[in-house]
């Protein structure tokens, strides 16, 4: 059973207001996408907002109370804080994401490994662990040993599951944006590996979560890494532009 953090929060508001409350998640996601991408390409900000917006639109009809979505701005905020060497802020953001959804525990652990100042990350892990144990104890009281759940990963989900898992929608346009965004996003993250701790966080966690989602997850787990990859597509485009320019220069007649 999922951590109840988000649902305890939403229970304080009328159900009819939840679609409006999630608007703050959408806004924060798009603003952070702009911040992360604006220096990666001359049009980095608009490109990242455009692509991340597809993930927001894809989630908004049915997944607006899914914890993966609410954790996106916390993951992006943690990456931005790491880039700016604000270690405590990064630990708080990533710890809060892990309290929303256990999938985000992986970025928190990676942040612990990356940050040169780890005290805040250790405390964040302690808080997450304690609350996780409390949750596990309470959840055990209502779980059934004979319970069943739908198959995970590629098993029984059709030939297009892998495409859906890395795409903002289950339509061909979404598949194209998802595949291209995944490739260019990883290229952009790799290009920033040496200079940006936030890129190292998102590259490592994105690769792990993509593999986990395809092999043993649900397609909507893509929200935990897809928007982050979309933020670095401008960096991938800049790398492609640089490669094309160098190739053209080598082919010029002497």
- Could you please report the per-residue DSSP string of 19-79? HHHHHHHHHHHHHHHHHHHTTTSTTHHHHHHHHHHHHHHHHTTT-TT-HHHHHHHHHHHHH
How many angstroms separate the CA atoms of 187 and 235, rounded? 7
| Contact indicator for 66, 220 with CB cutoff of 8 Å | yes
pLDDT digits (tens, 9 = 90+) for 37-96: 999 999 999 999 999 999 999 999 999 999 999 999 999 999 999 999 999 999 999 999
How many angstroms separate the CA atoms of 201 and 210, rounded? 14
Fill in the DSSP letter of residue 150: P
| Contact indicator for 154, 215 with CB cutoff of 8 Å | yes
Could you report how far apart the first and last alpha carbons of the chain are, in Å?
67
215: phi then psi, degrees, rounded to nearest 5: -80, -40
CA-based R_g, the chain, Å: 19
**Which pLDDT value is given to residue 139?**
87
Fill in the DSSP letter of residue 225: T
Helices (H), ranges, the chain: 5-10, 18-37, 44-59, 67-83, 87-100, 105-114, 119-140, 161-165, 172-191, 197-216, 226-231, 233-250
pLDDT at residue 254 greater than cutoff 60:
no
**Which pLDDT value is given to residue 87?**
96
pTM over 0.85: yes
Most confident option among 10-19, 167-176, 239-248: 10-19
Closest to 121 (Cα-Cα) out of 82, 154, 160, 159: 82
């Amino acid at each position: 059973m999922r951590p109840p953090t988000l649902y305890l929060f939403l229970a304080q508001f009328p159900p009819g207001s939840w679609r409006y409350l999630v608007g703050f998640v959408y806004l924060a996601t798009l603003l952070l996408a702009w911040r992360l991408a604006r220096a990666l390409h001359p049009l980095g900000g608009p490109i990242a907002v455009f692509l991340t917006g597809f993930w927001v639109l894809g989630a908004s009809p049915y997944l607006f109370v899914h914890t993966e979505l609410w954790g996106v701005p916390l993951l992006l905020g943690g990456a931005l804080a790491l880039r700016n060497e604000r270690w405590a802020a990064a630990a708080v953001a990533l710890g809060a994401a892990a309290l929303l959804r256990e999938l985000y525990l992986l970025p928190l652990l990676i942040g612990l490994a990356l940050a040169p100042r780890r005290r805040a990350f250790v405390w964040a892990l302690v808080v997450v662990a304690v609350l996780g144990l409390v949750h596990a104890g309470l959840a055990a009281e209502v779980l059934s040993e004979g319970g069943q759940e739908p198959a995970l990963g590629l098993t029984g989900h059709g030939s297009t599951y892998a495409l859906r898992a890395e795409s903002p929608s289950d339509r061909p346009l979404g598949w194209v944006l998802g595949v291209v965004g995944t490739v260019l996003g990883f290229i952009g993250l790799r290009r920033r590996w040496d200079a940006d701790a936030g890129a190292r966080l998102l590259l490592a966690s994105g690769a792990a979560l993509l593999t986990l989602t395809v092999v043993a997850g649900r397609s909507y787990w893509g929200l935990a890494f897809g928007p982050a990859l979309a933020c670095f597509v401008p960096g991938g485009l800049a790398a492609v532009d640089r490669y094309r320019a160098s190739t053209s220069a080598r082919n010029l007649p002497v």
